[in-house]
A = this chain, B = another copy of it.
Amino acid sequence: MSDHRILLSEREIPKTWYNVVPDLPAPMKPYLHPGTLQPAQPSDMAAIFPMNLIEQEMSAAASIAIPEAVLDILRLWRPTPLVRAVRFERALGTPAKIFYKNESVSPAGSHKPNTAVAQAYYNKEAGINRLTTETGAGQWGSALALACNLFGMECMVYMVRCSFDQKPHRRTMMQAWGAKCVASPSELTNSGRKMLSEDPDSPGSLGIAISEAVEEAAGRKDTNYSLGSVLNHVLLHQTVIGQEALAQLKIAGAYPDVVIGCCGGGSNFAGLAFPFVPEKAAGKKVRLMAVEPTACPTMTKGVYAYDFGDKSGMTPLIKMDTLGHDFIPPGIHAGGLRYHGMSPLVSLLHRAGVVEAASYPQLKCFEAALKFAGAEGLIVAPETSHAIACVVDEAMKAKEETKDKTILFNLSGHGHFDMGAYEKYFEGGLEDYHYPEEKVREALAHLPRAS
């Protein structure tokens, strides 16, 4: 039997990113200019993104070379381990084999630095020395702070208010890497001030924080904007995860029946799952499961339509699974999964039946995470706990059916900055939140007319 932890040497970090676009079952719908409703041109995005990233965003190349300067930083923690969770299997009493890709080993504690480093690099190449961004749970903001610091750039982070209050230590972490972090909505932007005038106690949302960060970047020549999920180039940068996993599974002599990732904007799920899309197209029987919270059921309750990526309607219109850009999800602790939309690539694959979606309530997720911590030691982020809840269900199904099954999931981040959420769970202070149907209808009534 092979090792439980399958490690690759740094020379085995993938040298290219895998682009799913040429392998899509249908062509991607173009982004639309929010004013003209015509397909957005590269120049439409040039106010906030560098041209090299815009080219990646629109690329149909099968793969894109990873620059040496990016690889040089990725090797601080990559390749990440692929681990066979033998103790978790035993605890569940399942015949299933469970593997996880441990992305929590990065300095920022999640998969997010995979794209943060690439985005900082391309902006620096384009002569930009300052980036703005939003963050929900703080994983993305930390990752961009880390990446900017490594390239000697400035970083400004708008953090969703409810997460900012839940996790003050994330802010300090960003500060340790030289970044500035403020609660959103803030008084620093028009978007923020408008929200605060409507609701001074707004818990914030990713949509609002994006509006603030985009507004600041659009208004300053020295500053660009950086997004931690959703967009094509972000998902592209995450495909190192799945490529490594494929190489590691080969060493383990295993192949997954199901690949599972939690899904907020789609980047950790896609990073692991997209490299399996051509395998599936070539006849491999592998299921790709995207897991979201019942409190923000973008794929399972939303519609597939053109919508804004942000609250204020400053972004291009994106054809995606959405709950409507007016939707503000309840303040659940999986802050990274509180987004009204979904990556257009994941949405397309979902609607084409290549990707399955499931939603889980948070109590079941915490329960699964604690079972995992008791068996494997690792305490995961609330986002990741959604993937684990689904793993448990798949493993128990295998048990009932006394079937061999191999499960692969993405351990997207650790929970070291989420102990407040666990504390609330222990105190019985957490409730499940199922998104009510009438709120879906209400939010969807405000979709832009292009939808």
| A residues with CB within 8 A of B | 3-5, 7, 9-11, 75-77, 87, 105-109, 146, 149-150, 168-169, 172-173, 175-178, 370, 373-374, 376-379, 414, 416-417, 419-420, 422-423, 426
Complexed CA–CA distance, A417 and B167 (Å): 12
Nearest-Cβ distance from residue A148 to partner chain B, whole angstroms: 11
23 A-B contact pairs sorted by A residue (CB < 8 Å)? A3-B9, A3-B11, A3-B75, A4-B10, A76-B87, A87-B150, A105-B105, A107-B376, A108-B377, A146-B377, A150-B374, A169-B169, A169-B419, A172-B419, A172-B420, A172-B422, A172-B426, A173-B416, A175-B426, A176-B373, A176-B419, A177-B373, A416-B417
| CB-CB under 8 A for A176 and B76, given A105-B105, A419-B169 | no
Nearest-Cβ distance from residue A159 to partner chain B, whole angstroms: 14
CB neighbours (8 Å) of A3 from chain B are: 9-11, 75
Is B75 touching A5 in the complex (CB atoms < 8 A)?
Answer: yes
Is B377 touching A150 in the complex (CB atoms < 8 A)?
Answer: yes
Is B416 touching A374 in the complex (CB atoms < 8 A)?
Answer: no
CB neighbours (8 Å) of A373 from chain B are: 107, 149, 176-177
CB neighbours (8 Å) of A106 from chain B are: 377
Top 6 closest A-B pairs, CB basis? A107-B377, A169-B419, A416-B416, A172-B419, A172-B423, A3-B10
Is B149 touching A374 in the complex (CB atoms < 8 A)?
Answer: yes
Complexed CA–CA distance, A5 and B74 (Å): 12
Is A374 touching B109 in the complex (CB atoms < 8 A)?
Answer: no
Q: Which of B10, B146, B379 contacts A107 (CB 8 A)?
A: B379
Among residues of B, the one whose C-beta sits closest to the C-beta of A147 is: B377
Complexed CA–CA distance, A127 and B75 (Å): 45
Given contacts A105-B105, A172-B420, 20 further A-B contacts (CB under 8 A): A3-B9, A4-B75, A5-B10, A7-B7, A76-B376, A106-B377, A108-B377, A149-B373, A149-B374, A169-B416, A169-B419, A172-B419, A172-B422, A172-B423, A172-B426, A173-B422, A176-B373, A176-B379, A178-B374, A416-B416
Complexed CA–CA distance, A304 and B340 (Å): 65
Complexed CA–CA distance, A9 and B376 (Å): 18
Q: Which of B76, B376, B419 contacts A173 (CB 8 A)?
A: B419
Is A374 touching B177 in the complex (CB atoms < 8 A)?
Answer: yes
CB neighbours (8 Å) of A77 from chain B are: 377
CB neighbours (8 Å) of A419 from chain B are: 168-169, 172-173, 176
Among residues of B, the one whose C-beta sits closest to the C-beta of A10 is: B3
Among residues of B, the one whose C-beta sits closest to the C-beta of A377 is: B107
Q: Which of A149, A150, A176, A416 has the most C-beta atoms of chain B within 10 angstroms of its own C-beta?
A: A176
Nearest-Cβ distance from residue A11 to partner chain B, whole angstroms: 7
Complexed CA–CA distance, A76 and B81 (Å): 11
Is A176 touching B422 in the complex (CB atoms < 8 A)?
Answer: yes
Complexed CA–CA distance, A375 and B376 (Å): 31
CB neighbours (8 Å) of A7 from chain B are: 7, 9
CB neighbours (8 Å) of A420 from chain B are: 169, 172
Q: Which of A75, A172, A177 has the most C-beta atoms of chain B within 10 angstroms of its own C-beta?
A: A172
Nearest-Cβ distance from residue A168 to partner chain B, whole angstroms: 8
Among residues of B, the one whose C-beta sits closest to the C-beta of A426 is: B175
| CB-CB under 8 A for A416 and B175, given A5-B75, A9-B3, A76-B376 | no
Nearest-Cβ distance from residue A408 to partner chain B, whole angstroms: 18
Complexed CA–CA distance, A378 and B108 (Å): 8
Complexed CA–CA distance, A426 and B87 (Å): 41
Is A416 touching B109 in the complex (CB atoms < 8 A)?
Answer: yes
